[in-house]
Amino acid sequence: MRVQSFMGKASLEGLHQMDNLINEWIKRTKPKIIQITQSPCTVVKHDGRDQETIIVVTILYEESEFKGL
């Protein structure tokens, strides 16, 4: 079993970008998906004063036998 994680901003644009990344990854690797989890997180920006919410999507999967086709 393997894991792939994606991270994006918790905004409409950020979620759309993450959806596109995940869809492209699925199309390219053709994994057998076992489980998908989503977790919101708060991170401190570089200046140390502001925070933003991000979404982390973690996919547990097995590699596809047909990946190269």
Q: Which domains does the chain have, with CATH numbers?
A: 2-62 (3.30.1660)
Q: Which whole number is the average pLDDT over 28-42?
A: 95
Q: What's the CA gap between 55 and 47, in Å, rounded? A: 21
Three-class HEC string of 19-54: HHHHHHHHHHHCCEEEEEEEEEEEEECCCCCCEEEE
* Residue 69 pLDDT greater than 60, yes or no: no
Per-residue confidence (pLDDT) for residue 49, from 0 to 100: 79
Count, residues in the chain: 69
Q: Which whole number is the average pLDDT over 19-39?
A: 96
Conformational region of residue 48, where left means phi above 0, alpha means psi within -120 to 50, and beta covers everything else:
left
Place 67 in a pLDDT band, splitting at 50, 70 and 90: low
Q: Which whole number is the average pLDDT over 21-42?
A: 96
